[in-house]
Chain A
């Protein structure tokens, strides 16, 4: 288990190989990246087995006091600077950094999700990206992305977490802008990087705030200090909110969600990776990892819940009216990330992580299917597609599985996880939350059904005529993901033996048996089914009733179609406020700093020089007169001193 740090190392070590030698290798070296992530995946299996077979008494493992789960930590000295102090009340401390990994159920779940989805996506890319001239760079970025995310979930201190966190952001920038020949891709990459950076500033301040109070970057020490009451409640609240700011940036929560739909400009497998395993999962992971901190502050939890709910509901409505298949999926991701945050805010720790993994499988499957559609038809506008179930039967079946799973149709993975979230929200938050959450569930089923009906059913649309099924490397990986999207949900149940249910594996403070609230479950299923019926009527039968409802809602739809004018609002803020301030500061710089501060002394010196040089007349008489007057002056001085 102490070798778990090899998991990211495999992937990061192939990056320079791919960049330098990739061009000369068969297949541009793609097999290297795939072998590395496959090795990481098997390593994860080994770590998982070993973790299951150890108990607290062995080596570095102990029951984590703040979470109550068995966790194993391995550390190395990294650096020390200044005078390392560990006391609470000291203001000036030295900095000491440790390289450390922590292995607990949360990390193991994430390791499994990341290595598995990254492996599937990289194999899928063999077919999807075939013939791309920069394939070695593509795989190098993929490997780096996976390595950064794996390092993020293994890190046992905030310093390593922050470094890998930024590395994840940088890799997402590189991959979203992979087709940088297209201006839209460049813009999207920049937008993703800048928007997430805004949140990252919050994360950095939060980490430094905690460090200034605790004197250590170690997460376990920080959380113990938080739970033992060594930290003031305002410090906990503020640091939790600041950390959540970082998480909201990465996980595309309102108001930072604007980068994610634009990130669709990247290659579709990249979208699958970002949405399922790496980028957006980091935010949810961070909140879950810092949960001992959040748990201490009801205000922070309320912020998380409200932001989660607003995000979930707002994104679900936009997904309903988007016309681009990938954008529908992107808003669906935002909506589901909102649900995960809401669940965390409602103390539904297990439910959030379970939904993260279940959603990861379903969303990776959906994105890979969308990529398959794009591969077959070169079209992503759902209005122009239709009837693809004939030409692309495998894709159609697998997309439907993913869609049904996300919509929360029973026995598929999304049903179980969503139900647990509903239960957590119902038990721990005011009733208004559960109403809007159920509305989100309904909308989520509705937009998935809409996408499904429009793309794969109905009449064969304009661009669908020449469609063809995708190659085996694509369909097989989709199939494997589809299998998990169907079966993963059963892990929530107590299956006997060592499979006691997910709640006995990942939990906070005490193991949770699987709860099932019959009437809540029934309502959510009924809502999902109602949504499917509505979508069937509106987008398959084109029923006039639905058309009339559409007509009635058109002013609302107009606002939603424009994404609540958020992008325009941000643009206005940037144009008027940010650039206004920048212009003012630029004027200050030119007028004060440059003209007065820099050029001012130069002007003064120049003026003095001009004035003083006037005595150099070039006329010998004036010099001679100077000599004579000087001589007389000296004589007078000498005479007056000698008298």
Chain B
């Protein structure tokens, strides 16, 4: 049984990479991928924690909360990625670019 702390370190590292990606990438597609990275970091954290809780009291099937939330997150992420890609597509059609720093019309 791998200790829980390794999963949490992995999760934190993935999350930070995701945050860096959102802040540093210019392409909208890469930003979306970075967001996916952050979501999956959270998923790892949830599943690992749930597994740890289940192992601490063997023979029961009570602690599935983490897995259930992880499946919710995957579902929402799938829907979100569909919407976001559609927006990016429209953006590319209209402005011939997917670089978010070139799409800054909506301001003061």
Interface residues of A (CB under 8 A from B): 613-614, 616-621, 624-625, 628
Contacts and interface: CB of A to CB of B under 8 A. Distances in A.
A619 B104 contact: yes
B22 A618 contact: no
B23 A624 contact: yes
Interface string B66-108: 0000000000000000000000000000000000110111111
Interface in B5-42: 19, 22-23, 31
A617 B107 contact: yes
Given A625-B23, A628-B19, A628-B23, A618 B106 contact: yes
B106 to A, nearest CB: 5
A496 B108 CA distance: 102
A105 to B, nearest CB: 85
Contacts of A625: 23
A616 B19 contact: no
Given A614-B108, A619-B100, 15 more contacts: A616-B106, A616-B108, A617-B104, A618-B104, A618-B107, A619-B101, A619-B107, A620-B31, A620-B100, A620-B104, A621-B100, A624-B22, A624-B23, A625-B23, A628-B22
Q: How large is the interface on B (under 10, 10 to 19, 20 to 34, 35 or more residues)?
A: 10 to 19
A616 B107 contact: yes
Contacts of A619: 100-101, 104, 107
Contacts of B105: 618
A617 B103 CA distance: 11
27 contacts: A614-B108, A616-B106, A616-B107, A616-B108, A617-B104, A617-B107, A617-B108, A618-B104, A618-B105, A618-B106, A618-B107, A619-B101, A619-B104, A619-B107, A620-B31, A620-B100, A620-B103, A620-B104, A621-B23, A621-B100, A621-B101, A624-B22, A624-B23, A625-B23, A628-B19, A628-B22, A628-B23
Contacts of A617: 104, 107-108
A273 B101 CA distance: 89
A620 B99 CA distance: 10
A390 B29 CA distance: 117
Contact of B108 (A613, A620, A621, A628): A613
Contacts of A624: 22-23
B71 to A, nearest CB: 24
Contacts of A620: 31, 100-101, 103-104
A616 B107 CA distance: 5
Nearest to A628: B19
A625 B103 CA distance: 17
Nearest to A614: B108
A614 B107 CA distance: 8
B40 to A, nearest CB: 18
Q: Which 5 A-B pairs have the closest CB atoms?
A: A618-B107, A618-B104, A620-B100, A613-B108, A619-B104
